[in-house]
Structures are given as structure tokens and as C-alpha cells.
Amino acid sequence: MVSPPSAAVSRRPLTITPASVIIVCVVALVSIGLAVLFSASSPIKGGPYAYLYKQIIFLALAIGAGWLVTIADLEQLRKFAWIASGVALVGLVAVLFTVPINGSRRWLGLGGVRMQVSEFAKLALVFSLAHYLALNQSRLHEFKRGFVLPSAWIGLFCLLVLVEPDFGAAFLLGSIGILLLFLAGARLRFLLPSIGAALLGFVVLVMHNPVRLGRVLSFLDPEANRQGTGYQPWQALLAFAAGGVDGVGLGNGRQQNAFLPEAHTDYIFAILGEELGLIFTLLVVGLFTTIFVAGLMHVRRAPNLFQFLLVTGCVLLICLQAIINLGVVTSLLPSKGMALPFISAGGSNLLLMGLLVGIIINTQRTWERPKPLVRKRALTEVVA
């Protein structure tokens, strides 16, 4: 007698993966960002709905771009690493011939939409550098192949971004490039002197740039410069003080009412602190910290050096940019315009974040894919 099939259907146990944790954190950050953006952009020409609709459109584009990356074969995409980097470099050169906006040349107009080329250059550098270091894995101890060539490649990107000028993005690119070199196995006796020389050169450039020097001086004494170069950082501190623990409530803040410039972009974290309070500011910090920790746990399972460096670079692009923005807004770092990932208004950065998250999801899917049991299948055929 054949026993009836069991009513209970066996299901695969639900497992929490690092990539799924990152997705949950990203969804939370985007949700917070849309709510705060609606409030922060209310006094701006066009009203809050104009910026909110624009952000939602770019969010949809970012989700679409991220989805395309999740289904791509990263090993096949490696063939286009140098082409993508070449396009990025051409874009960085092209922006130098555009009309400056607020003293910088960073945007290219595409059909009425301005795109910040340096955002996509970040991913292009990480992608091409990971590809090169993986190809030369056995020769990274050499001075030329393991240090000179990749350092020159990093320096080229940084130089073009510096000329825009965008000191913060150049610092971010250089930091991530050096970290990837170190993680790939480049020798410290080559890296340490170059890091010192790069920092010294960066300091010299800042000292000879009146705008950047003024920001550093205002950082050292924000109260004394609160009516000059330290106006934005001082207003941001006032926003945090007004918000306290619970915040004044969404839409009830005063700093976005022409008191705090760039309230919907670079300094949106101050608006968040004023209207939602300490609890939500700590939540945002905790979400970015969780992304970093989950990213570290995820890359430990990388099947090869290329994918290890690529995903590490993606995690660093998200988290280091967040650290710089949070440090600037809270006056822990000198003032520098840089978007807060997933929260600040800005289509270019949102598209970049979508691509980065897409790469992480892609690797989670492919790294977990079981290998075909060829031997077991052959054995079954023999027995049959």
C-alpha cells in the first residue's frame, strides 16, 4: 500500500545573507531620504513636489540600472573595463570645457538633464583597477606592475577631478584606489611613501586655494567664522541643537527656509537632525555602519581577486562617501560638498548607488549558485 504524500511541504529555510541586510538598509535610507527631501525642498523654487518627483524618477532609473547589473555576468563585463574607463576619462576631460556652475565644471548636459561625470568615474576606476590587479596578481610585488602603473592610473583620475575642481571627490578616489592596492597585495614600502607624498601635495593645493583654505580655517574655529566661510557648518550645528532628541517634526524646521544653503543636497543630514532628532540621526549612522559590516562579511566569500576588489570598492564608495558627508555636516571635517548616499537630492549619485547595490546583489546571487554535481549524475546513469 502506497502511503499518502505528506501534507506538509518542505521549504527551504529562510537565510539572512549580507546582501539582503544591505538591501533592507538601503530601502530604509531611501525612505528616510524621500521624506526629508520633501520637507527640505519646500522653500525652493518649484516647491517640494518638483524635487520629490525628480528624485523618484531617478530612483526608478537607479533601480532599473541596478537590476540590469544583477543579471549581468561580471566576468564577461571585465572585457569592457578599459572601454568604460576610457569613456569616463573622456567625460572628465569634456566637463573642463563646459560653463562653470558655482565655480566648478562638473556637469555635462544630456537632453536637458545634467549628469555629474565624476560620479560614474568612481565606479569606472574601481572596475578597471580591480580588473588590472586581478590580471597581475602574481606580479603585484614588482615596483612597476604592482605600484607605478596602477598608481599612475589612480593619479590620472584624481588629477582630472582636481582640475574641475572637486577636492573631495579626488580625495575619495585616491583613498579607495590606495586601499584596493593594499588589499590586492601591493608592498607597503611602495605605498607608504606615496601616501605621504600625496597627502603633502594635497595640503599644498589646499593652502594655495583661497576657498578651500577658508573652509579649513572655519573648521578650526567655526564660531569665529560663522558669518563667513563657516556659515553653512554653523547653521548645521544650530539645526542639530534645535532638533534635540525628538526633533521639531517634519516640515516644522526653519533651517531650510533660506538659512542653510544646499539644505536638500549636501546638508540634508542637518535638516534630518533638526526635524527628526537624535534618534533618526543615530539610525542613519547605524544603517551605514550595518552596510559596511555586512559588506565586509560578504566579500570574505569572493571566489577570486577581481570580484573581491570590485565588491570591496563598491562598499567603500558607499560608506566612505557617507563618512565624509556626515563628518562635514557635523563639523568633524572641513566643509566639502558631497552628497549623502541614498538621501541627498541628486540623480547622478543616486544612479551610481543603484549600480553599486546591483553589483553587490549580483555577487550574492552568483556566489551562492551551487556547482553542478557532474560526478553524482554520471554515477546515477551508470547505476540505472
pLDDT tens per residue, range 18-73: 889 999 999 999 999 998 888 877 666 566 677 788 889 999 999 999 999 999 99
Name the amino acid, one letter, at 158: C
Parallel, antiparallel or unpaired: strands 107-110 and 113-116:
antiparallel
Pick from 371, 370, 363, 369: which is nearest to 298 by CA?
363
3-state SS track over 333-345: CCCCCCCCCCCCC
Q: Give the predicted TM-score (pTM) of the model.
A: 0.87
How buried is residue 150: exposed, middle or buried, by Cβ count under 10 Å (0-12/13-18/19+)?
A: buried
Dig out the grid coordinates for 87 from the structure.
569613456
For residue range 259-289, list pLDDT tens digits in order: 777 777 888 898 999 999 999 999 999 999 9
Tell me the Cα Rg of the chain: 23
What is the arithmetic mean of pLDDT over 157-171?
88
